[in-house]
Amino acid sequence: MLSQLSPTIRQYLIVTGNYWAFTLTDGALRMLVVLHFHGLGYSPLEIALLFLFYEIFGVVTNLVGGWLGARLGLNRTMNIGLALQVIALAMLLVPATALTVPWVMAAQALSGIAKDLNKMSAKSSIKLLVPDTAQSTLYKWVALLTGSKNALKGAGFFLGGALLTLLGFHTAIAAMALALAAVWIASLLLLRRDLGRAKVKPKFRDLFSNSRAINILSAARLCLFGARDVWFVVALPVFLSQSLGWSHWQSGGFLALWIIGYGIVQALAPRLTGARKQLPDGRSALGWVAALALVPAAIAWGLDGGIDPTALVVGGLLLFGVLFALNSSLHSYLIVSYAREDGVSLDVGFYYMANALGRLLGTLLSGWVFQWAGLGAPGLAACLWISTLLLLITVAISLALPRAQPAPASRA
């Protein structure tokens, strides 16, 4: 059946299938690690430290990974990412006595490198599979890839919990490693050999973009994701558990469903943003982020005013998720659209480096602000006000985004 499709569609399906398989195991692995080490008596701070290198290495990998993709080809960087994830899973198959915090942190660091190599390769590949004249198709394909990834990440949380219950930690890890190894072998055989390799091998100094549009969009992306994670990563789960009295399963299940819904909205973004009539540009990004900035401000104002926190936070989080998903999908399309075709991974890698920096900034601020302002509603409100400030900065940055398709990106 696959052989009857056009070469472009076949490559898109292979790239998407690789991304889906990786994302499902990545989400399941995170849940397995959290639940397993929580059951062993590890404190929340110790569990959070297990993922510290996962985020830090994402910043470096996106930057260097784009350079590697342009030199080696995106098929190779995607396959390297799949192989590294298999190795990261295999590292967790050691006896329980050897599963120390440093060892698991090292495995998570490798998984973080693998994840961002895989993501950069998948997003960059779409640019090369769609003609420049088919921007509407490009938006749809990027939205589908991005949205399905997040929906599967949420599904991976449930998968991790189910595998831990049914198979136990080590057997679940082994099953995922074997399944992903099969996907890796299939990718080695089916993915196009020269996908994304630049005609002229870029130098290391070419890591940094000289395109005004890409630099502006990257700065906006940094603040956008910092605004999400400043209250979503630490403050929100702790608030749901300690202040609202939710169990770990209630909190985890709700956030997993939120991520699945978030992914569905991302996939539907071309319809919801009116792309059939007019493709999005800088003006679209500005309008949607301005609407998003109102949501955390309204939730923070309600918490400070004593409004029922359960209805306020749950309802506000749902609205925030819809608007944030649309903003994220718009940005994902714009970076692929702005990027030059020859060496596309350099531009996409630089952009997702800014994305990873925003996540890291938001994660650090979330823990620090929530603890400094006081656990509970005051701490969450403080994080939400910081989120509002970061979104207002995103609005200011977005004022400078091009109102039409910019000239092809160049490298410094």
Query: What is 220-285 written as a DSSP string?
Result: HHHHHHHHHHHHHTTHHHHIIIIIS---HHHHHHHHHHHHHHHHHHHHTHHHHTTTTTS---HHHH
Please enumerate in sequence order all residues whose Cβ is within 8 A of that of 104, keeping only pairs 6 or more positions apart, or say none: 33, 37, 50, 92
Q: Where are the domains of the chain?
A: 2-398
Please enumerate in sequence order all residues whose Cβ is within 8 A of that of 328, keeping only pairs 6 or more positions apart, or say none: 146, 224, 266
> How far is residue 26's CA from residue 157's CA, in Å, rounded to a whole number?
9
Reported as a single tens digit per residue, the pLDDT across 274-293 is: 656 677 788 889 999 999 99
Residue 409 pLDDT:
47
For the chain, give the percent of residues with pLDDT over 70.
Answer: 83
Residue 129 pLDDT:
67
> How far is residue 158's CA from residue 373's CA, in Å, rounded to a whole number?
33
Most confident region among 19-23, 181-185, 332-336 by mean pLDDT:
181-185
Reported as a single tens digit per residue, the pLDDT across 96-124 is: 888 787 888 888 888 888 888 887 777 77
Reported as a single tens digit per residue, the pLDDT across 141-172 is: 778 877 887 788 888 877 887 888 888 888 99
> How far is residue 382's CA from residue 166's CA, in Å, rounded to a whole number?
40
HSE-CB of 233 using CA atoms within 13 angstroms: 25
Question: 406 or 117: whose pLDDT is higher?
Answer: 117
Question: 54 or 331: whose pLDDT is higher?
Answer: 331
Question: Are 369 and 98 a contacting pair, CB within 8 Å?
Answer: no
Residue 317 pLDDT:
93
Reported as a single tens digit per residue, the pLDDT across 29-76 is: 877 887 777 677 776 556 666 777 777 887 788 777 767 777 777 778
Single pTM value for the model? 0.79
Q: Which amino acid is at 343?
A: G
Q: What mean pLDDT is predicted for residues 372-399?
A: 91
The tokens 């080490």 sit on which residue?
A: 37
> How far is residue 25's CA from residue 153's CA, in Å, rounded to a whole number?
8
The tokens 């849940």 sit on which residue?
A: 31
Residue 175 pLDDT:
93
Residue 93 neighbours by CB distance under 10 Å: 14
CATH topology of domain 2-398: Growth Hormone; Chain: A; (1.20.1250)
Residue 90 pLDDT:
93
Average pLDDT, the chain: 81
Alpha-carbon dihedral angle through residues 149, 154, 155, 158, given to the nearest 10 degrees: 160
DSSP 394: H
Poorest-pLDDT segment among 70-79, 91-100, 314-323: 70-79
